[in-house]
């Protein structure tokens, strides 16, 4: 109880205290670490079950997604990238509604390029998505787009909770949860991004952070709706840094995420939910990652801006025994 009160104090009042920002961070992380000594301090209704099987579930279709972020600079460049990439895909890729041992591929271009990119890639089964939406349907929200807008131009997936939105644009769990539910209500599929920062990694509270994000961001999402949810585990310290989790360490976090989902829903949801890994995925690292039984795909940033690199990632190869 004391730890919960301490965390509440810092969250509520720390921004009003006249201290150097580095000291504020240190104090807040100390409080966070103290409370995290018990996972129930954050997510009391998540009680991980450690009996979940980790064998690859044949019903989980692999999914590779390319997040172009605020790239490339022009529509012409975007079309050239999409066209070149589509020519390099192997027969292992397939459309969103197909599943015969093939890999689903999704592209997330910037908003102005979505329609043209969709036209360029849809014939070979590549799906497009939007990098975000606002949870209101319409109104005086300058600079925002609604779910109905992106759905009307063919988007099937929406990124929710990406670390850059959380950190740079202060997108909190309340807003992320509202967006996840809005995407589902609109008949599209959210890719919910979760993951720890370097400070949280150093404090050894990765599991607590991810459990808290899952609990808050999926609040009110039903078991039935979870069939349309993809989780992307993206350790923030690995995004754009060139660092990548070792495959076995990444897989262990995916197993833990399934344990949380089993506690929040049941084993059926835990085993059916596709979980991607994201964080400086490269052609050199993808095979080892995708050989892990609980890694169902990758959410790729920088490498997706190079047609040959992203095609190699999508055309991953299982490691030989």
Over residues 185-206, the pLDDT tens digits come to: 999 999 999 999 999 999 999 9
Instruction: Give percent of the chain with pLDDT exceeding 90.
Output: 73
Cβ-contact 225, 184 below 8 angstroms = yes
**What is the value of pTM for the model shown?**
0.84
Structure tokens at 107: 């592209």
Q: Which residue has the higher pLDDT, 227 or 30?
A: 227
- Helix, strand, coil shares of the chain as percentages rounded to 5? 45, 15, 40
Where is average pLDDT lowest: 27-31, 74-78, 282-286?
A: 27-31
Give the contacts of 26 (CB within 8 A, at least 6 positions apart): none
Where is average pLDDT lowest: 24-28, 72-76, 109-113, 211-215?
A: 24-28
Phi-psi region of 79 (alpha: psi -120 to 50; beta: other; left: phi over 0): alpha
Task: Name the residue with tokens 């801006």.
Answer: 305
Spatial separation of the C-alpha atoms in residues 185 and 189, rounded to whole Å? 9
pLDDT digits (tens, 9 = 90+) for 171-180: 999 999 999 9
pLDDT score, position 97: 61
Catalytic residues: 162, 234
pLDDT digits (tens, 9 = 90+) for 3-54: 444 444 444 444 444 444 444 444 455 444 444 444 444 443 444 333 333 3
Spatial separation of the C-alpha atoms in residues 314 and 93, rounded to whole Å? 8
Cβ-contact 221, 173 below 8 angstroms = no
Q: How far is CA 314 from CA 156, 157, 191, 205, 293, in A?
A: 19, 17, 17, 32, 17
Nearest to 221 by CA among 151, 170, 273: 273
The DSSP secondary structure of 255-297, one letter per residue, reads HHHHHHHHHHS-HHHHHHSEEEEESS--TTTHHHHHTSTT--E
Handedness of CA 224, 225, 230, 233 (dihedral sign): negative
């Amino acid at each position: 109880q004391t730890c919960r009160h301490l965390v509440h104090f810092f969250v509520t009042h720390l921004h009003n205290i006249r201290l150097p920002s580095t000291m504020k961070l240190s104090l807040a992380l100390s409080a966070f670490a103290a409370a995290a000594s018990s996972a129930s301090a954050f997510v009391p209704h998540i009680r991980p079950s450690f009996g979940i099987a980790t064998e690859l579930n044949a019903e989980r279709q692999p999914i590779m997604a390319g997040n172009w972020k605020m790239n490339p600079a022009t529509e012409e460049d975007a079309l050239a990238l999409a066209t070149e990439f589509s020519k390099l895909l192997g027969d292992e890729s397939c459309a969103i509604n197909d599943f015969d041992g093939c890999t689903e591929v999704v592209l997330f271009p910037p908003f102005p390029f979505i329609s043209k990119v969709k036209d360029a890639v849809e014939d070979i089964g590549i799906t497009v998505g939007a990098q975000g939406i606002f949870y209101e349907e319409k109104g005086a929200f300058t600079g925002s787009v609604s779910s109905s807008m992106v759905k009307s131009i063919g988007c099937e997936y929406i990124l929710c909770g990406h670390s850059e939105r959380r950190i740079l644009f202060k997108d909190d769990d309340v807003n992320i949860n509202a967006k996840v539910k809005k995407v589902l209500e609109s008949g599209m599929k959210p890719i919910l991004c979760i993951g720890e920062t370097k400070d949280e990694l150093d404090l050894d509270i990765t599991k607590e952070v991810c459990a808290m994000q899952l609990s808050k961001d999926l609040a009110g999402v039903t078991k039935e709706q979870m069939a349309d949810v993809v989780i992307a585990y993206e350790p923030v310290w690995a995004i754009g840094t060139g660092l990548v989790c070792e495959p076995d360490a990444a897989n262990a976090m995916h197993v833990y995420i399934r344990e949380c989902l089993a506690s929040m829903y049941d084993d059926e949801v835990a085993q059916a939910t596709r979980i991607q890994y994201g964080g400086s995925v490269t052609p050199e690292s993808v095979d080892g990652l995708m050989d892990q039984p609980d890694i169902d795909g990758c959410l790729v940033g920088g490498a997706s801006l190079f047609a040959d690199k992203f095609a190699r990632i999508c055309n991953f190869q299982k490691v030989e025994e």
